[in-house]
Amino acid sequence: MTRRNLLFARALVLRCPHCGGRHVLRHWLAMKDACPTCGLSLATGNRAGAYILNLFTSEMLLMVVLATVVVRSWPSPPYDLLQWLAPLLMLIAPLLFYPFSKLVFVAIDLAMHPDAAPDALVHGEVKKPL
């Protein structure tokens, strides 16, 4: 597995993309400021990018679910079901994907800056991954 794939794989299982350390979330909707294992700053990075990624993923899920329901039930789609399912999905999906989008964006940041130089410059030395 390449370093880049490893970064994304770690992010998708909610571990620090840099070292694979656990417990990077304070709770589901908040990350710790830094990884408790390697000290990599998790507070910096492109928050707007993480929000856009979260919104894009949520919208894609909504479109897939709606298209699946409409296609499978054609010619009489259950519009009553869709009227409450779509808004419910748009409330739940961003909350569900939030920590993944944040950590994936940290992984994107690390993939773009392999030596974590911006964090090292701003917050001090970053330990090498184990």
Q: Nearer to Zn ion by C-beta: 21 or 99?
A: 21
Is residue 16 a contact residue for Zn ion (CB under 5 A)? yes
Q: Pick from 7, 10, 11, 19: which binds Zn ion (CB under 5 A)?
A: 19
Instruction: Select the span of 27-35, 58-66, 92-100, 103-111 touching Zn ion (CB under 5 A).
Output: 27-35
SS (H, E, C) 21-85: CCCCEEECCEECCECCCCCCECCCCCHHHHHHHHHHHHHHHHHHHHHHHHHHHCCCCCHHHHHHH
The whole-angstrom separation of Cα 33 and Cα 39 is 9
Q: Pick from 10, 11, 18, 119: which binds Zn ion (CB under 5 A)?
A: 18
The residues of the shown chain that bind Zn ion, judged by CB under 5 A, are: 16, 18-19, 21, 35, 37-38, 40
